[in-house]
Amino acid sequence: MSAVTQSTESIRAAISDDLWDRQKRWELRRDTLIDIATKASNAKDVLVRLHAIYLTRNNAAIEASPERVAIQTELQEAWHFAQNELQRMVVIASLACGAGVRTALADFAMVASDLALEIVGGQPEVLMTRSDDFAAKYNAVTKAMRKEIGNDSEPMFLTDVSLGAQVPSPPSQ
């Protein structure tokens, strides 16, 4: 009887350890996915704002204003931070999630970085000419994350990256 009890306790402990391990892995994946969603959304928002400030580049009244320069500098710093966070999340996703999430996030990060370089390089209209590609990469991240958690329902996808972009108004004279 003692051997049966010991064997039963051993089986319970093994099941409990396995359940605990699966729960902890799920929690890590869940937290990683939430972080990815937050960082990708922030990167998208910063890129759209960067696009908006560079659209005003040819307006001489706005171009030289200290307010514009300060906003431009702030947005460039925000972009660098967002870009670094995306790259960090690609590495973390490769540890905590499946290949689909990591690949989709890496693709989005690459397209966003390319767009930012072109925007800052004097071609802010590139975000509009490549908005379909940008939205597709962003949506692929969402789709991969939903697949990762087993949610097959149709998400609401990004369709217009220009929504929410605000072009600074000219300084008061």
The secondary structure of residue 97, as a DSSP letter, is: S
Domains, the chain, with CATH or none:
2-148 (1.20.120)
Task: Kindly indicate the confidence band of residue 164, based on its pLDDT and cuts at 50, 70 and 90.
Answer: very low
Q: What is the pLDDT of residues 12-61, one digit of tens each?
A: 777 777 787 888 889 999 999 999 999 999 999 999 999 998 887 666 66
Spell out the SS3 assignment of 20-34: HHHHHHHHHHHHHHH
Residues 75/108, Cβ–Cβ less than 8 Å: no
Residue 12 has a pLDDT of 74
Q: What is the pLDDT of residues 107-131, one digit of tens each?
A: 999 999 999 999 999 899 999 999 9
Nearest-Å Rg of the Cα atoms of the chain is 23
Q: Please compute the mean of the pLDDT values over residues 94-119 and round it to a whole number.
A: 96
Residues 40/107, Cβ–Cβ less than 8 Å: no
